Chain A
Amino acid sequence: MILARRRSRMSRGLLLAGVFAGFTVSRAASAQLGTGTGSTSSLGITINPTVPRFATNGTTPYPYRPANLNPNDINFQDCSANIVLEFELIESGLPTTDTLQVWAGPTDCTQQSARVSGTSGPFCWRVAPNAANSQTAAVNIYARNLTQFVDNTSSAVLAYNPSPGTTPGVDACHTQQASGAVGLTIYFMFIEGDDIMLDASATYPLNVDMVGPLAPQSLTAGIGDTLLILNWSPQTDSTIQGFNLYIQDQGVGGLGAGSEAGSSSLETPIYCPTAGTTTTCVDAGTRDGAVIDAGCTTTVSGDASFSIVADASSLMNATDADLAKEGCYRGAPRYTFDAGGPGAASCVSTVLVDTFSTTVTASATDGGFVDGSASVVVPLSTDAGVSGGTVGVGISEIPDADLAASVGGNTTSSYTLTTLPDGGPLINGHQYALAVAAFDDDGNVGLLSNLACQTPAPVVDFWNEYGRAGGLAGGGFCTLQGAGIPAFGSVFGVGVGLAAVAFARRRRRRNS
């Protein structure tokens, strides 16, 4: 009943899932069937093509991404939220002694070699607890059970046995080592009591993509009148679908001056660098010139700017292998250090450096802002081989609440920002912190660009210059529309038109 109600709720929105899902149903190999329990020819299982998605509580429908962002893939956000995929299986003719086992992997999980240790990989892993055979079964699969062994070719994955009510932590979302989609197939298999022999199986393919695009580079914000003009250099990445633009109102003078205007509703305050802030910490370890080593320390002081110490800008040129070595993941949420704020360190949605630890000494706080000074120590675990690195005070996690605009295009490099996330206008004299991040074809938001801070200010464009000189023209293309403009001009224009028409008609009449 509950299942039916859920399906009814989701049927409209999630029909798409079934349409796009290339599910397949297959019989086990005849040899296996023959050596099984003597199954009849009618045995088999089918999967309902509609695969609803729910929040991790299993009941709240999870919103789908737009069709152009591969709504049936698992992206980082799906993993981070640990959504539940609900499959409905219909079995017929299979022995009641069979066990329903659900595996997933990059290879054919119906082969014993993919499910038994002692053989060579790649291997599959279990993604849902075993269940007894019943004619109709709803199988819930958590996203993290699907993602936790992506790119893991070790036979250790065979040891994983999901238990009801427990799921892997967010580390399961950091398993992908290279950008792009990884193809997985979920196998629903009815296996005999010996835990080996397969009676029937059905498959459901899907892609996992948890690595977002590289960070846009060289973000600048130009001053405009109640607007800011952003320019950046996009990275070359065919998966980029567009860019998210984030803006945060720092108030008059910026947050560093003690004003916290606009921050109350923000998910994560962004801090523009202020005087006294040390913003770089390059190669503070062994000082070998080009490599970030352990023990990089940066110090911030003043009433501001401590929140992040991550390696956003420096790692964007690193290879995936470098990132993997260092435990950094593109597109993955970054570790957010927010010592002065509620809850201190947080890791809401993204981790750039997950082997990263920080210590902060703050002399005092005032509602989340450090007074005095703070020292931030960033002991990177190993020499990552990343060249040109800096550890700086910058932006941390993707500030979703500060999303002001999204612009499509793979090579888009500029945008004129006129409104805040709440739809309100930018205010001249307020400082704004800005960042840009690319998103890919699975909706993964990549690393943030460098932080740009700018303050809109009044400008004198031609029209205002003309007005200051005493000009009174304007008001609209139709001269009658312009208030204060004599209507004679329009009357004259209309008159010319009428005269032309009259002349033409007269000529035609004379010719005829």
Chain B
Amino acid sequence: MIRFQSAARTLAAAVLAWVIASPRVARADDETGVLSSRHKTYESPQRFALEVRLGPYYPRVDTNPTLAQTGPYAGPYQQTFGTSARVEVAGEFDYQAYRIPGVGTIGPGISVGYTSASGLAPLLKPEGGQKYSAETTSLTIYPMYAVAVLRFDILDRAFHVPFVPYLKGGIGYALWQASNSGGTSVSSTARGAQTNGVLGEGATWGTQLAVGLGIDLNFLDRRASQGFDNATGVNHTYVFGELMRADLSGLFQSSSHTLYVGDYTWMSGVAFEF
């Protein structure tokens, strides 16, 4: 009910703003500065941020020191999927719990992503010049993290410089699944103490760090962004880029029993504060 009333208020404010802003005469008056001294533009409350992002992703599976580093079995990921990075698509939701005066906002954020690499599985024994089977083998990863997000938006708010640097740091976690044309992979050979096939799925913990820079697009058209805020509650719209270190190498997990699925990479996307 409260939410509904809030929405109704927002809508009413948007309509009012539109009515006020539309007539040419009024705008002309405003351009003379007559009204600016008496009117303060309305800005909706800002508590959250939503990011949609994508970027190259190459899981650092082969960097696990417990895997063979030389010989025919070294680099299992590269041997199977090659050296090309795949794309990760992710979304992040932040709660801007506190505004630090003169600095910016800080609060927790969570993210869920998706990336997958696939290719044809080679035959164990190539025959007649045929090296690859028709089977598809793939590794699917769902990288996630929970971080603290600090956004330095003082430049934007106080000086209308549309750059908002930010920092993120926290815990990373990923679910992953190795599969083939028959479904989830099962190892055909004994592994360690296990004599039966091991299911190709698991989870990896790690740390998550990122530093990035957002560009507030409001500066392109402040009147339009004001209307957008009034209509939808979105205060700021950003495009951003960041350097990300997803060190998913088994936080408090044994290296030999951990599939390293993190990556040090860059991401970019759009973000909305509302």
Interface residues of A (CB under 8 A from B): 221-229, 416, 418, 457-479, 482-486, 488-489, 492-493, 496, 500
In the complex, the chain B residue whose C-beta lies closest to that of A225 is B135
- A–B pairs, 24, beta carbons within 8 Å: A223-B134, A225-B135, A227-B181, A227-B182, A228-B134, A229-B134, A418-B182, A457-B124, A458-B125, A460-B123, A463-B185, A466-B61, A468-B189, A470-B66, A471-B256, A472-B191, A472-B192, A472-B256, A474-B259, A475-B201, A479-B202, A489-B203, A489-B251, A500-B146
Please provide the chain B residues from 158 to 196 with a CB less than 8 Å away from any CB of chain A in the complex.
Answer: 171, 173, 175, 177-178, 180-182, 185-189, 191-194
Q: Is B48 an interface residue (CB 8 A)?
A: no
How distant is the Cα of A409 from the Cα of B245 in the complex, in angstroms? 45
How distant is the Cα of A172 from the Cα of B229 in the complex, in angstroms? 76
Kindly provide the distance from the CB of A468 to the nearest chain B CB, expressed in whole angstroms: 4
Say yes or no: A489 contacts B80, CB within 8 Å. no
Say yes or no: B124 contacts A458, CB within 8 Å. yes
Residues in A neighbouring B198, C-beta threshold 8 A: 467, 472, 474-475, 482-483
Say yes or no: A225 contacts B133, CB within 8 Å. yes
How distant is the Cα of A336 from the Cα of B94 in the complex, in angstroms? 70
Say yes or no: A462 contacts B181, CB within 8 Å. no
Q: Is B138 an interface residue (CB 8 A)?
A: yes
Q: Is B81 an interface residue (CB 8 A)?
A: yes
Say yes or no: A466 contacts B259, CB within 8 Å. yes
Interface residues of B (CB under 8 A from A): 61, 64, 66-68, 73-77, 79-81, 121-125, 127, 130, 133-135, 137-139, 146, 171, 173, 175, 177-178, 180-182, 185-189, 191-194, 198-205, 250-254, 256-259
Contact of B257 among A461, A468, A485, A493 (CB under 8 A): A485
Q: A462-B138, A474-B202, A496-B146 are in contact. List 4 more A-B contacts (CB 8 A).
A: A222-B135, A463-B187, A464-B187, A469-B76
Say yes or no: A474 contacts B67, CB within 8 Å. no
A457-B133, A461-B137 known; A225-B182 Cβ under 8 A: yes
Say yes or no: B74 contacts A469, CB within 8 Å. yes
Say yes or no: B81 contacts A462, CB within 8 Å. yes
Contact of A474 among B123, B187, B193 (CB under 8 A): B187
How distant is the Cα of A300 from the Cα of B108 in the complex, in angstroms? 76
How distant is the Cα of A458 from the Cα of B66 in the complex, in angstroms? 26
Say yes or no: B187 contacts A467, CB within 8 Å. yes
Say yes or no: B259 contacts A465, CB within 8 Å. no
Say yes or no: A458 contacts B123, CB within 8 Å. yes
Residues in A neighbouring B64, C-beta threshold 8 A: 471
A223-B134, A461-B135, A469-B68 known; A477-B203 Cβ under 8 A: yes
Say yes or no: B134 contacts A488, CB within 8 Å. no
Contact of A483 among B74, B194, B254 (CB under 8 A): B194
Kindly provide the distance from the CB of A472 to the nearest chain B CB, expressed in whole angstroms: 5
Say yes or no: B80 contacts A462, CB within 8 Å. yes
Query: Closest 3 CB pairs between A and B?
Result: A222-B134, A463-B185, A461-B137
Tell which of B67, B77, B193, B200 has the most Cβ of chain A within 10 Å.
B200
Residues in B neighbouring A488, C-beta threshold 8 A: 252-253
How distant is the Cα of A493 from the Cα of B205 in the complex, in angstroms? 8
Say yes or no: B68 contacts A489, CB within 8 Å. no
Say yes or no: A476 contacts B201, CB within 8 Å. yes
Kindly provide the distance from the CB of B48 to the nearest chain A CB, expressed in whole angstroms: 16
A225-B135, A459-B133 known; A485-B254 Cβ under 8 A: yes
Residues in B neighbouring A458, C-beta threshold 8 A: 123-125, 188
Residues in B neighbouring A469, C-beta threshold 8 A: 67-68, 73-76
Contact of A464 among B127, B185, B254, B259 (CB under 8 A): B185
Say yes or no: B202 contacts A462, CB within 8 Å. no
Kindly provide the distance from the CB of A162 to the nearest chain B CB, expressed in whole angstroms: 54
Kindly provide the distance from the CB of B75 to the nearest chain A CB, expressed in whole angstroms: 8
Residues in A neighbouring B76, C-beta threshold 8 A: 462, 465-466, 468-469, 471
Kindly provide the distance from the CB of B127 to the nearest chain A CB, expressed in whole angstroms: 7
How distant is the Cα of A469 from the Cα of B198 in the complex, in angstroms? 14
Tell which of B75, B133, B185, B258 has the most Cβ of chain A within 10 Å.
B133
How distant is the Cα of A381 from the Cα of B263 in the complex, in angstroms? 70
Residues in A neighbouring B186, C-beta threshold 8 A: 463
Say yes or no: B189 contacts A467, CB within 8 Å. yes
A457-B124, A476-B202, A482-B257 known; A223-B135 Cβ under 8 A: yes
Say yes or no: B182 contacts A462, CB within 8 Å. no
In the complex, the chain A residue whose C-beta lies closest to that of B80 is A462
Kindly provide the distance from the CB of A433 to the nearest chain B CB, expressed in whole angstroms: 17
In the complex, the chain A residue whose C-beta lies closest to that of B198 is A474
Kindly provide the distance from the CB of A439 to the nearest chain B CB, expressed in whole angstroms: 25
How distant is the Cα of A15 from the Cα of B202 in the complex, in angstroms? 52
Residues in A neighbouring B133, C-beta threshold 8 A: 222-225, 457, 459
Residues in A neighbouring B254, C-beta threshold 8 A: 485-486
How distant is the Cα of A418 from the Cα of B178 in the complex, in angstroms? 19
Tell which of B80, B125, B181, B259 has the most Cβ of chain A within 10 Å.
B181
Kindly provide the distance from the CB of B171 to the nearest chain A CB, expressed in whole angstroms: 6
Say yes or no: B252 contacts A489, CB within 8 Å. yes
How distant is the Cα of A473 from the Cα of B258 in the complex, in angstroms? 5
A464-B188, A484-B194 known; A225-B202 Cβ under 8 A: no
Kindly provide the distance from the CB of B228 to the nearest chain A CB, expressed in whole angstroms: 32
Say yes or no: B122 contacts A462, CB within 8 Å. no
Residues in B neighbouring A229, C-beta threshold 8 A: 134-135, 181
Kindly provide the distance from the CB of A279 to the nearest chain B CB, expressed in whole angstroms: 19
How distant is the Cα of A486 from the Cα of B251 in the complex, in angstroms? 11
